[in-house]
Amino acid sequence: MSVLLDVKEITKSFKLKGYWYHKRKFTALSPISFAVEAKKTLAIVGETGSGKSTLAKILVGAETSSTGKIFLNGQLLQSQRFKQRCQHIRMIFQDSGTTLNPSLTIQELLDEPLILNTELNEKQRHQLIRTTLQKVGLLGDHMNFYPHMFSGGQKQRISLARAIILQPQVIILDEALAALDPSLRSQMINLLLDLQQQMGLAYILISHNLGIVRHFSDDVMVMSHGEVVESGKTIEVMRNPQHKVTQKLMMSQNIQLK
């Protein structure tokens, strides 16, 4: 399998308040390198403040990295060219209720990325929105509804539809499954796994829930204070956790793999 997303030596540091000759820095990410293949899932786990979300933001282009390079299919992603990046890397956020614009219908919401990134005419866009909604398990007629008319699980499906409508290659799930109710969460996991098979997507899953991580991901990366402390195949890491942080996480969730 070819490598889809290749991240090399990414760092991020923030300048803190300080004097001219006494500049202080806060390092959010120490050099991080990893690679994701198509149809595979990389899970990132860690405590709050370990730099998981910063990494996600850098990948999707909402923040620029201090140093380092990101390659997608062997092509360098430049920090200024959002068009290229936002077609291929999309993100789903934790709280779907607040990420959808309440004053737009679903059709207008899904139309926006299409108008900005593609050259389809109105009829084609309409057709694409319809098929995408059906793909995530909603009806085509739902496109005339406003976000408040949907339940939490359906809203999360709409944000998924917005993510996959541009046929991306990588989707970043930033705690996207955490706020859902258990029965809807398993529906969503099934849907995501189906889409991965159909469209050949690569996922980057950021999650606290190790049960989901075990079920959903192929590789795992444990982070602490901006550093990767352990990484490898999910099963192997969870069977035999080496680092203290990993052991603590597994202990706190009472998970033991044999």
* Shortest spacing between CB 213 and other proteins, in angstroms: 9
Query: Of 18 and 211, which CB lies nearer to other proteins in the complex structure?
Result: 211
Using alpha carbons, select from 196, 8, 33, 173 the residue that is nearest to residue 91: 173
Q: Report which DSSP code applies to 77.
A: P
Q: Which residues of 91-110 are buried (b: 16+ CB within 10 A; e: fewer)?
A: bbbbebeebbeeeebbbebb
Using alpha carbons, select from 218, 216, 199 the residue that is nearest to residue 207: 216
How are beta strands 41-46 and 202-206 bridged, if at all?
Answer: parallel
Q: Which helix (H) or strand (E) holds 257?
A: none
Side chain identity at 21, as an amino acid letter?
Y
Say if residues 43 and 172 touch (Cβ distance below 8 Å): no
* Shortest spacing between CB 218 and other proteins, in angstroms: 8
Query: Of 56 and 77, which CB lies nearer to other proteins in the complex structure?
Result: 56
Query: Of 159 and 234, which CB lies nearer to other proteins in the complex structure?
Result: 234
Query: Of 163 and 210, which CB lies nearer to other proteins in the complex structure?
Result: 210
* Shortest spacing between CB 187 and other proteins, in angstroms: 5
Query: Of 169 and 217, which CB lies nearer to other proteins in the complex structure?
Result: 217
**Whole-number Å distance between alpha carbons of 209 and 236:** 17
Q: What is the CA radius of gyration of the chain?
A: 19
Cβ neighbors of 258 (< 8 A, separation 6 or more) are 239
* Shortest spacing between CB 49 and other proteins, in angstroms: 10
Query: Of 25 and 233, which CB lies nearer to other proteins in the complex structure?
Result: 233
Cβ neighbors of 188 (< 8 A, separation 6 or more) are 153, 156, 157, 160, 176, 177, 180
* Shortest spacing between CB 197 and other proteins, in angstroms: 9
| Binding interface with other proteins (CB under 8 A) | 47-48, 151-154, 181-187, 189-190, 193, 208-212, 214-218, 234-235, 248-249, 251-255, 257
* Shortest spacing between CB 215 and other proteins, in angstroms: 4
Instruction: Name the residue with tokens 């406003």.
Output: 146
